[in-house]
Amino acid sequence: MRYLVTGAAGFIGMQVARRLLEDGHAVATIDNLNSYYHPALKQARLALLRPHEHFTFHEASLADGERIQQIFREGRFDGVIHLAAQAGVRHSLHEPFTYAESNLHGFLHILEGCRQNRVAHLVFASSSSVYGLNRTMPFAVADNVDHPISLYAATKKANELMAHSYSHLYGLPATGLRFFTVYGPWGRPDMSPFLFTHAILHHRPIKLYNEGQNRRGFTYIDDIVEAVVAIAGRPAAPNPAWDGARPDPGSSSAPWRIFNIGSPFPVTMIEFVATLEDALGAKAIIELHPPAPGDMEATAADIRDLEAATGCRPTTALADGLRRFVQWYRDHRVLADRCVAD
């Protein structure tokens, strides 16, 4: 098949593109290589993809509608896996307009590209952050998600709604994936596994907000990729049992679905640091802080819908995943340290 993967220089995007190439698909990719974090890491990820015969890279901004439409017309894609976005809950407190440009305006260009070129299936990244003030654990796709607590989360909820409108109006099969705290080799240097590993190895303190009691359903990258690829091959279809009098938030009478992809077993950040210390063989210097604006107290995924549809479920234990991440960090120490230090 011919796939378009956006955000292919990013953490999840590179891993998904590599898996599709290894499975024999042709993969065109888009990334704007922005400086949200060090571009050297993005270039290193792309270097893993370039040797593949059926790999194509386009450096482009999602906000450039003419360029995006040109890529769609020339690519004639069977499927689109849209993973590009301006990420980061805390960053959205300081640079809100960046999120509107990339996550809203940019996503609209992706939807239009899919509509105009009759793409058979759009898979797009959402986030566990859409659950916002919800306190029911684990989070289920049937839960209400009308109370986000960051602009980043609000843009991801908006993406789900925008995709639904295109599914309803134009019959575009679209599947949204709510990712839960993804970690692993080639991860993002602005996230806790990367930041904490760097700090511990350099004998610097790490900050734990909410006194370290925030809980997260950490999900290893390989489990994410397995589910994304499985879903990509299963275009969303209308739910024949969907009832407008009692609407199911995770499906529709249109060809639109939402799935959680994440661990159903959250750990506190204190527990996470202890597991990371074991993997590193070194102790952390911990600073406890009050809750940070925009941070959710806990996330954990109800994945019953995902299992029923694909047979996939995250299986990598946190201790195993962190050992693999630490080994990658040690193997790429110069690059990894540079990305955090800058």
- Distances in whole angstroms, Cα of residue 90 to Cα of each of 42, 253, 294: 21, 36, 7
* Those residues with Cβ within 8 angstroms of residue 279's Cβ, 6 or more apart along the chain or in another chain: 319, 322, 323, 325, 326
Question: Angle at Cα 130 formed by Cα 125 and Cα 132, nearest 5°?
Answer: 160
Q: CB neighbours (10 Å) of residue 193? A: 23
What are the φ/ψ torsions at residue 17 (nearest 5 degrees)? -60, -40
Distance of CA 54 to CAs 20, 40, 194, 305, Å? 10, 23, 31, 33
What gap in Å lies between CA 137 and CA 50, rounded to an integer? 42
Give the single-character DSSP code of 83: -
Given the residues 3, 152, 166, 183, the one annotated as active site: 152
Task: Name, in order, each residue with C-beta under 8 angstroms of 41's C-beta and a sequence gap of 6 or more.
Answer: 186, 189, 335, 339
Reply yes or no on whether 152 is catalytic.
Answer: yes
β-bridge mates for residue 310, sequence order: none
Instruction: Please tell me the chain's helix, strand, coil percentages from 3-state DSSP, rounded to the nearest 5.
Output: 45, 15, 40
Positions annotated as catalytic residues are: 152
